[in-house]
Chains A and B, each alone.
Chain A
Amino acid sequence: MLTRGQRRTIALIVGLPLLLQVLFVWLPAIASIGLSFTDWNGVGGLGAIHVVGLENYANLATVDPAFWPAVFHNLVWLFVFLVVVMPLGMFLAVLLDRQLRGGWLYESALYLPLVLSFAVIGLIWELQYSPSDGLINGVLGTNHQGAIIDWLGDRRLNLGAVIVAAGWRHVGYVTLLYLAGLKTVDPTLREQAAIDGATEAQAFWRVVFPILRPINVVVVVITTIEALRAFDVVYVINRGLNGLELMSVLVVNNLLGEASRIGYGSAAATLLLVASIVPIAIFVRWALGREAP
């Protein structure tokens, strides 16, 4: 039985964050969902808000030339992050865990981009990718008329170029998380596996990897969130136009400026909210559910 004081403490510990969460996260989110059924432009009070039903959603799906590209680009981003960046980060963590000579050098090189915000990442890579003045075209000798590779302007290239920039940062994050996980694995388990005749690969996949499952869940969730909330890099580079459309940009570009389409942007925000919450909720439930005996 809990004492009254304990109960009061628990109520405070649970209640206060809950209150803040409701006030600053759920109420605005619900307000966004409500506004998504209106054509409000941000001017005037409640009286100026006209309900237009599902028109914003219909226009997103049928008229807005940015919507389907945005959805597709977010999916590409997610796919590359999960299938390329995440395994690469894990692989680098395994290498670093082997106490390589000069490992600190590799570690710092991998973690360095982590301290930079995505806005700064965008700025740095923008300078590398610039058509006439950038480092990459300079090195390749493709910086003059007739030979220019337009890394950020050509729609066949720019999404890939930007995902490389974002992945450059994210891979360090994944490595850091896995390395922390690997440090917690009891070394005697590997010794045991080696004595039993397991190869190194077998020891990793059969013994170490299952132990890392909580880390895997965290990394998958973080990677998914990073891919869906991707915004700053493309916004710095070209405000998310011309092949760099993303859902987050669609939201912001419609909300900002003097003729903000609050209702329309809210419809895009609502779709992004649903797209973020539903798969993550299902995945976490599934992953944690498996863990319970």
Chain B
Amino acid sequence: MAEPISRRRLLAGIAGVAGLSLAPGVFAACAGPSQTSGTSARASVAGTKPPTTVGSYYSDPVPRAAMQDVVDSFMASTGLKATLNTVDNASFQNGINAYLQGTPDDVFTWFAGNRMRFFAAQGLAGPLSDIWPQIKGNFSEGAQLAATAADGKPYVVPFHTYPWVVLHRKSVWERHGYETPATFDELVALAQRMQTDGFVPFAFADKDGWPAMGTFDILDLRLNGYEFHLGLATGRETWTDARVRDVFDAWHRLLPLHQQGALGRTWQEAAKSLVNGEAGMYFVGTFAGEQTDEAGRDDLEMFAFPPAGTQFDAEKSMDAPINGFMLSRAPASPDVAKAFLAYVAGGEAQTMYVTANPNRIALAKDADTSGYTNYQHKMADAIGGAGRLTQFLDRDSRPDFTGPQGMQRFLQDFLADPGQDLDAYLGRIQAFWDSLP
């Protein structure tokens, strides 16, 4: 899933893309995040092990400071040196291709799943086979799988995660006597009751193109199962399959219970309508907790999307995207880089990060959860209760398919006109998949 990008960061990113419309080659050569501090640092140390460099897209103040703390404590506990190079989030993600082909930092922040596999397959990232035996035991099997590429080698150190769940406010639900629905039908009945009580049952937003993928994912996982969903994402199944149509039919029925004007609304605004009591529920990643304060998060409850009455309910699948660290293809200081990766695989570093950013939880088994907020405990419980974890459509599929010119647009097409001829619509999606190189 695309990391939520604030307007400020988007504006900063635009500075980097203005005026490149006619010169993709030139753009590719210069779009990579700057390396100056990294290279000069490398050259200045001789004799001892040269410091490693960490390229980070954690550019918002709080995560940025937390990341600096992680780097500092790595240096304090190992005596090795590392430099953090933070780049504006949108620029980092937009320029990643050129960055990895240029002179990237030894270690860089990235995502598990297919977004990692894409670079692993092109030889733009280094495998973690040396350190994997000592760190893999610290992660669940699902996280290990998400960190492994098509060649069977691990490429990502899982760092933190969050679940996609139905969020709601405890105080509002208590006042109206709402109870957690145990089945899909109960969820619909509850939503209808909320509607008569004057609530918007489901807050909803898809102006940014990617949030609706969460809804698609969970409906597909519940109706058609984990294997089919991943098959669809990777091209083993086709979009013209009748089972995909079932997903959109079910979604079509649910849409009247969703907030109007989703295509003009950001997830931040939708989260606000949940927080201010206008909406009764919001199916979203728990990063939505960023839109309120600690007291507000304390009032937030969550439950996994309920079973839909199919054979796949038992899989208890859930989108829980994993963010982590990767090794670049030719690190300048490989030993120190690997020491850093081993360090961030441990509970100490992960606890430090999720304490600063309480809308995420750690993945390391030895992370200290005693300092978790109530919200974080609920997130951990939600993920703990899931059977199969998926990464989110745009991390499970190929990036050119799920980008703004692909599935983001197609899902918006559906939301703009849910009553359209779905067979023709799915045919267009498949034609787009087939047209990709």
A133 touches B269 (CB 8 A): yes
- Among B23-31, B128-136, B165-173, the one that faces the other chain is B23-31
A130 close to chain B: CB less than 8 A: yes
B98 close to chain A: CB less than 8 A: yes
Q: How many residues of B contact A (CB 8 A)?
A: 60
B277 close to chain A: CB less than 8 A: no
- Among B291-299, B375-383, B427-435, the one that faces the other chain is B427-435
Contacts of B24 in A (CB 8 A): 31-32, 35, 42, 255, 260, 262, 265-266, 269
B14 touches A119 (CB 8 A): yes
A29 touches B409 (CB 8 A): no
B197 CB to closest chain A CB, in angstroms?
12
Contacts of A269 in B (CB 8 A): 21-22, 24
Candidate in A52, A154, A158, A259 with the most chain B CB atoms within 10 angstroms: A259
B358 close to chain A: CB less than 8 A: no
Contacts of B209 in A (CB 8 A): 238-239, 241-242
B404 close to chain A: CB less than 8 A: yes
Contacts of A258 in B (CB 8 A): 93, 96-97, 115, 118-119, 399
Bound together, the chains give a CA A119 to CA B7 distance in angstroms of 10
Contacts of A273 in B (CB 8 A): 22
With contacts A242-B416, A257-B403 taken as known, whether A272 is within 8 angstroms of B437 at the C-beta atoms is no
A262 touches B409 (CB 8 A): no
A32 touches B416 (CB 8 A): no
B435 touches A151 (CB 8 A): no
- Which of A43, A63, A235 touches B431 (beta carbons < 8 Å)? A63
With contacts A145-B260, A153-B264 taken as known, whether A123 is within 8 angstroms of B7 at the C-beta atoms is yes
A42 touches B260 (CB 8 A): no
B263 touches A132 (CB 8 A): no
The digit string for B250-288, where 1 denotes a CB below 8 A from any CB of A, is 000000000111111100010011000010000000000
A132 touches B412 (CB 8 A): no
B207 close to chain A: CB less than 8 A: yes
A133 touches B262 (CB 8 A): no
B46 close to chain A: CB less than 8 A: no
B416 touches A42 (CB 8 A): no
B277 CB to closest chain A CB, in angstroms?
13
B118 touches A154 (CB 8 A): no
With contacts A65-B428, A152-B207 taken as known, whether A130 is within 8 angstroms of B7 at the C-beta atoms is no
Contacts of B398 in A (CB 8 A): 259
Contacts of B273 in A (CB 8 A): 132
Can you name the residue of chain A whose Cβ is closest to the Cβ of B209?
Answer: A241
- Among A197-205, A217-225, A243-251, A284-292, the one that faces the other chain is A243-251
A window 160-217: CB within 8 A of B? none
A255 CB to closest chain B CB, in angstroms?
5
Bound together, the chains give a CA A265 to CA B436 distance in angstroms of 13
Candidate in B28, B259, B428 with the most chain A CB atoms within 10 angstroms: B28
The digit string for A134-165, where 1 denotes a CB below 8 A from any CB of B, is 00000000000110111111110010000000
A182 CB to closest chain B CB, in angstroms?
32
Contacts of A25 in B (CB 8 A): 22
Contacts of B97 in A (CB 8 A): 41-43, 257-260
B242 close to chain A: CB less than 8 A: no
A227 close to chain B: CB less than 8 A: no
B17 touches A29 (CB 8 A): no
Bound together, the chains give a CA A131 to CA B115 distance in angstroms of 33
Candidate in B20, B93, B124 with the most chain A CB atoms within 10 angstroms: B20
- Which of A24, A241, A259 touches B409 (beta carbons < 8 Å)? A241
Can you name the residue of chain B whose Cβ is closest to the Cβ of A45?
Answer: B101
Candidate in A32, A241, A252, A262 with the most chain B CB atoms within 10 angstroms: A241
A85 close to chain B: CB less than 8 A: no
B10 touches A257 (CB 8 A): no
Bound together, the chains give a CA A236 to CA B118 distance in angstroms of 28
- Which of B25, B124, B265, B437 touches A132 (beta carbons < 8 Å)? B265
A43 touches B20 (CB 8 A): no
A90 close to chain B: CB less than 8 A: no
A65 touches B409 (CB 8 A): yes
Candidate in B94, B278, B404, B405 with the most chain A CB atoms within 10 angstroms: B405
B408 close to chain A: CB less than 8 A: yes
B window 315-352: CB within 8 A of A? none
A232 touches B404 (CB 8 A): no
18 interchain pairs (CB within 8 A)?
A32-B24, A35-B25, A41-B400, A64-B435, A65-B410, A66-B405, A119-B11, A126-B7, A146-B260, A149-B261, A154-B416, A238-B207, A238-B263, A242-B207, A259-B398, A263-B437, A265-B24, A269-B24
15 extra interface residue pairs, beta carbon distance < 8 Å, beyond A131-B261, A148-B260, A257-B93 = A28-B25, A31-B25, A39-B437, A43-B124, A65-B410, A131-B265, A132-B273, A133-B269, A148-B261, A152-B207, A158-B264, A235-B14, A250-B405, A259-B97, A263-B437
